[in-house]
A and B are shown apart, each in its own frame.
Chain A
Amino acid sequence: MKALTLEIITRSLGEVGSTVVYVLVAAVVIEVVLYLLLTRVFRSKYAIPAMLLTPAIIGLLLLIVIPIGWEVWISFTNMSLRHFRDPEFIALGNFVRVFTDPILQQARFFPVFLQTVLWTVINLIFHVSGGMALALLLNRKMRLKGLYRTLLVFPWAIPQVIAVLAWRNEFHFQYGFVNTTLQSMGLPPTRWMDAPLANFAAACLVNIWLGIPFMMVIILGGLQSISREFYEAAEIDGASAWHQFRYITLPMLRPVLTPAVILGTIWTFNNFNVPYLINQRELETTDILVTALFRAAFEYNRYGFSAAFALIIFAILFVFSVFYIRVTGSLRSVYE
């Protein structure tokens, strides 16, 4: 056991402090050199933006682009725990095997993919509709508004791992409050941890609980920015509440909702903590693509295979996002 001594405090502060200073000094030096180079030598009109962007570009190159390059290379090899030092080049073998072989012990790619789509759709429908309902209720002058808003943001504010582990206890067959509540209402208790369908439902419930506050906050911000004049005009024309919602609120929320839905889809599709931790018995039926990916990589140590698998997941999300952005025509404004 190691106590938190003064010596540890000073040593760690020194290391972290110097890191911050190094990063800042490096960034400033790079910026100044680049700025002088671009203005004096190249006379570029983009000297300032280039200088502002360079530190972030260097960081992203080092920590995202290069690792992705590595990942692509690994995906063409049979790297695994056994072939860690001497991986062989096997071309597209891994990519073919993702679709032809089981990705875990029994689970195959397409059923898991459909499960992931189902997971994403269910969660997103509840996130958006739940967040929308709460935001509409909160978007008025009322007492206790601040208190409600604070309490409703709780699920977002607590560390996700803790929230999920806490929920896992609550799905305990005998002692969890979910079954206790069910029984007090005269309903039979459910085997949330063992039954495949119930376990998947439990994961969905937890993730819905976790995800509503984010949507609520986003939508509330959008609602507050809509001018009241639209509604006043609509009321003079005799528009019903539903029509006002359908023809004023929804269209005006679109610039807020579209990026939120895209991000929400990506985050849900890639959510690791919830399905992985709720799945106490390691049921392959609850796995979605990213949890299967984690198991393939770190439990079965099939690095080459999981690299190919990861790139395929990435490609699916990429195609979806491009498609969605094209169809809705959103994000166009960011390019202007």
Chain B
Amino acid sequence: MVFAISVVVFSMLYINAGGAARRILGDFASDEAVARLHEELGLYQPLPVQYFNWLTGALRGDFGTSWFRPTEVNEMIGVRLPATLSLVTVSLILSAILAMFVGVYAALKRGTWIDRAVQTLSIGGAAIPGFLFAIALVFVFAINLGWFAPTGFTQPTESVGGWVHSITLPVIALLIGGVASSAQQIRAAMINVLSQDYVRTLRSRGLLPRSVIFKHALRNAAGPGLSVIALQFVGMLGGVVIIENLFNIPGFGSLIAASSTQGDIPVIMGLVVTVAIIVTLVNLLLDVAQGWLNPKVRVS
């Protein structure tokens, strides 16, 4: 999967890269200098050869050098990734936990005003884009109430308290959409499980509602719940680009935005592949968890 993505994205990025040397050096550079750089970057080679060169580097863990800065792509990504990953991981875990509570609670309180309130709020939360929540949060809690700094980021290695403080608003902004859409699906999964025949049979055995709901039904609803979270993760990786930009957090989002404006193709290529690897790893992890939850998957 990662390989296929790298082939497609590489072709897309490099097919048009012939004029890159001129762009890098600017209009005032001499033709000779441009030609020399063109040579150095290997852009004269046919596309498959360029890809092969890139791939041999990438397999050794080397994504090359930025076109516009004398920095290794690896280093640029390495510096940015922790902020993004900490943001997304915290958001994902919190949203999974919250969505589970809200979804299960709404399913159990089905048809009451609580359920209706959850339904309405989750429609709103899922429909309204996360950056609007981010803007509202900054406006209310940072500018008006002054509880948080409107922008900026503290590395957790520097100060854990400062880190928590700096990611609170961004995490909430990322969370809302995630909780809203997952809670709805977890509610549906729970309602579906509770209407299954075996739940009636479990009740007919005289098991207490506590055991039927939290041991048996929840366990069966957890599988669909995990699939929802896997989808949520990809969504959050997209959303975090904008959130990082709004809160001025030095993550991969601001890097990819900057590289995109400049046309710094090696950096973009490295970022896309890194994201692809992360997504694949997370999916693998969730598959393992899925197998642990679902005995049918475990066997096959």
Q: Do A and B bind each other?
A: no
Chain A contact residues, CB within 8 Å of chain B: none
